[in-house]
Amino acid sequence: MLINGQVSEAQDRSQGRSMVISRGGIVAAESPLAAQAGVRILEHGGNAVDAAIATNAMMGVVEPMMNGIGGDLFAIVYDAKANKLYGINASGWAPKGLTIEYLQKQGIRSMPQQGVNAITVPGAVDGWQKLADKFGRKKLAEDLAPAIRTAQDGFPVPEWTAAYWATEVDYLRTDETAAATYLPGDHAPKVGEIFRNPDLAWSLQQIAQHGREALYKGEIAAKIVDSMKRHGGTMTAQDLSEYSSEFVDPISVTYRDWTVYELPPNVQGMAALEMLNIMETFPMGQKDWGPGSTNALHTMIEAKKLAYADLAKYIGDPRKQKLPVATLLSKEWAAQRAKLIDPQRANCDVTAGAMPAGSDTTYLSVVDREGNMVSLIQSNYSLFGSGIVAAGTGFVLHNRGGLFTMEASSPNVLAGRKRPLHTIIPAFAQKGDTRIAFGIMGGWNQSQAHAQFVANIADFKMNIQAALEAPRFSKQTFNGCDVMMENRFSQTVRSDLTNKGHKIDLKGTYSSVVGGGQAVMRDFAAGVNYGASDPRKDGQAAAELPIE
């Protein structure tokens, strides 16, 4: 089933790019170098999982502030032969010694957002290993080879990456090793400047040779523990060596004639699904409810507030505590919540706990020639994470622990060996013979961006490229009536929303605050793949070529 593949007036359309269409595999990523690394693996016999690992490893080289082997990873894998979805949660836990009592003894009353006490065990490399072992056709060393070579030889820094880098110079200078790694010549690399990272090449080579053991028990682990001691942190060799990611079953709801999948807690994907359930009770896509209309936008913004309030109150690490996920995803709950939406007024008093913000992530998606698909997201949390680089490793350790709360009544309260509530979420959708692997980054932007993308596909009948490019809103706070909107929404609609009580923070044409996304689609009936890449990033969707 082809979704709006044809355009009646090719010279008069609203989207800026065409979809990439191929019978071969497609990789959609934030960097052309990363997409091409994945495509190269596909062309040499790898499958979608191999390509995803290769792409992710390259992203850690070319966009080091956003992601890398010091961060966490989540993925949804579609096995075409088995017609089955698998989820993996490769988010790390807090060190055993990182407790509320430990922080309070140091006079700390709220979760640190930077430095050593924001660091949790990085889970990405264990996630790579488990994905490669279960699904991959290539050795991990083959998947990592392009990233190793690029880290060693260097690459010219692209536009978005240079812009992000330039904002973090002072932060990087707070750690001697971070400054030495990421500020060559004591400055952030400019657009087109060659950046090399031989220490990261060494770390990746260790993983290529020794697998996940290199980071959790080997030489990289030793360097991390030494750094923790130097900075007065609690992480021990045991915290690293005993860590393991886990396979999980995706959760889902139906939206119109689509089924939409996210991963279960400790991630925020539940909010995207609850938001869709609430939206489904309204006539989205019908008369006066089209894309960019006042009715549709007001409803989506209000649904977002309700779903995120539930997220903040009820969700954390599901291990050792029962979370009401089934209730929150029920159509009955959504109908009850939808009754709270006043079509004439914005609700400025939807209560939720205060949450810190973070938006520094990479998302990629892959489909191979057989129809296997990967939706993968990976992150340092904030730009350059904790700001700490263990000497000789070439990568920053993330600050994901900043998402814990110190409020004892919260399911997301800090405890040793516990995983924090996570913002990063991969997604997947299916209808008939069509499958879409998609994701849109940006901290608390993600669930609401996912819901907008699904509405663009299901209600407004856009193709995947148009659905990514369409203007978005983002409300990254949990309280109040503030909402950020791109300026491509009409002045009339913005005025109507203002009259309803929304306080609009107007952003640019393609704003980074509403996140950047990637998507791939498979039409199984025709055996054709489609790829899309968001212009809000430096990336592309790239197709493999047949080779002899």
Mean pLDDT of 440-452: 92
Q: How high is the pLDDT of residue 12? A: 66
Q: How high is the pLDDT of residue 489? A: 96
Distance of CA 332 to the CA centre of its chain: 29
**Residues tagged active-site:** 361
| Whole-number percent of the chain with pLDDT over 90 | 83
| Whole-number percent of the chain with pLDDT over 70 | 96
Q: How high is the pLDDT of residue 11? A: 56
Q: What is the mean pLDDT of the chain?
A: 93
pLDDT tens figures, 92-146: 999 999 999 999 999 999 999 999 999 999 999 999 999 999 999 999 999 999 9
User: With 70 as the cut, is the pLDDT of residue 172 above it?
Assistant: yes
User: With 60 as the cut, is the pLDDT of residue 533 above it?
Assistant: yes
CB under 8 Å to 178, separation ≥6 — which residues?
A: 172, 384, 387, 388, 389, 396
CB under 8 Å to 476, separation ≥6 — which residues?
A: 357, 359, 442, 443, 444, 445, 484, 513
Distance (Å, rounded) from C-alpha 421 to C-alpha 160? 28
Residue 408: in which H helix or E strand, if any?
Answer: none
CB under 8 Å to 231, separation ≥6 — which residues?
A: 115, 116, 388
User: With 90 as the cut, is the pLDDT of residue 435 above it?
Assistant: yes
Is there a contact between 381 and 188 (Cβ–Cβ < 8 Å)? no
Distance (Å, rounded) from C-alpha 186 to C-alpha 197? 15
Q: Phi/psi class of residue 32: alpha, beta or left (left: φ > 0; alpha: ψ in -120 to 50)?
A: alpha
Mean pLDDT of 379-384: 93
Distance (Å, rounded) from C-alpha 412 to C-alpha 355? 11
Q: How high is the pLDDT of residue 353? A: 30
Q: How high is the pLDDT of residue 2? A: 44
CB under 8 Å to 287, separation ≥6 — which residues?
A: none
Mean pLDDT of 396-420: 92
Distance (Å, rounded) from C-alpha 432 to C-alpha 126? 34
User: With 90 as the cut, is the pLDDT of residue 437 above it?
Assistant: yes
Q: How high is the pLDDT of residue 3? A: 46
Q: How high is the pLDDT of residue 351? A: 59
Query: 356 falls in which pLDDT band (50, 70, 90)?
Result: very low
482-486 and 503-507 as β-strands: parallel, antiparallel, unpaired? parallel
User: With 60 as the cut, is the pLDDT of residue 154 above it?
Assistant: yes
CB under 8 Å to 73, separation ≥6 — which residues?
A: 56, 88, 90, 91, 123, 124, 127, 128, 245, 376, 377, 378
Q: How high is the pLDDT of residue 443? A: 83
Distance (Å, rounded) from C-alpha 42 to C-alpha 48? 7
User: With 70 as the cut, is the pLDDT of residue 1 above it?
Assistant: no
Distance (Å, rounded) from C-alpha 147 to C-alpha 482? 41
User: With 60 as the cut, is the pLDDT of residue 368 above it?
Assistant: yes
Distance (Å, rounded) from C-alpha 56 to C-alpha 58? 5
Distance (Å, rounded) from C-alpha 261 to C-alpha 123? 22
Distance (Å, rounded) from C-alpha 162 to C-alpha 179? 16
User: With 80 as the cut, is the pLDDT of residue 158 above it?
Assistant: yes
SS3 content of the chain, % helix, strand, coil (to 5): 35, 20, 45
Is there a contact between 44 and 51 (Cβ–Cβ < 8 Å)? no
What is each CA distance from 408 to 263, 411, 412, in whole angstroms?
Answer: 25, 8, 9
Q: Can you spell out the DSSP letters for 137-182?
A: SS-HHHHHHHHHHHHHH-EE--HHHHHHHHTTHHHHTTSHHHHHHH
The beta strand positions in 80-121, using DSSP E, are 84-90
Distance (Å, rounded) from C-alpha 202 to C-alpha 226? 17
pLDDT tens figures, 326-344: 888 999 989 989 999 999 9
Distance (Å, rounded) from C-alpha 348 to C-alpha 503? 10
Mean pLDDT of 229-234: 96
pLDDT tens figures, 292-324: 999 999 999 999 999 998 888 887 777 777 778
pLDDT tens figures, 56-83: 999 999 999 999 999 999 999 999 999 9
Radius of gyration of the chain measured on its C-alpha atoms = 22
User: With 60 as the cut, is the pLDDT of residue 537 above it?
Assistant: yes
Q: How high is the pLDDT of residue 275? A: 96
Q: How high is the pLDDT of residue 8? A: 45
The terminus-to-terminus CA distance of the chain in angstroms comes to 31
Range among 7-11, 129-133, 359-363 rated most confident? 129-133
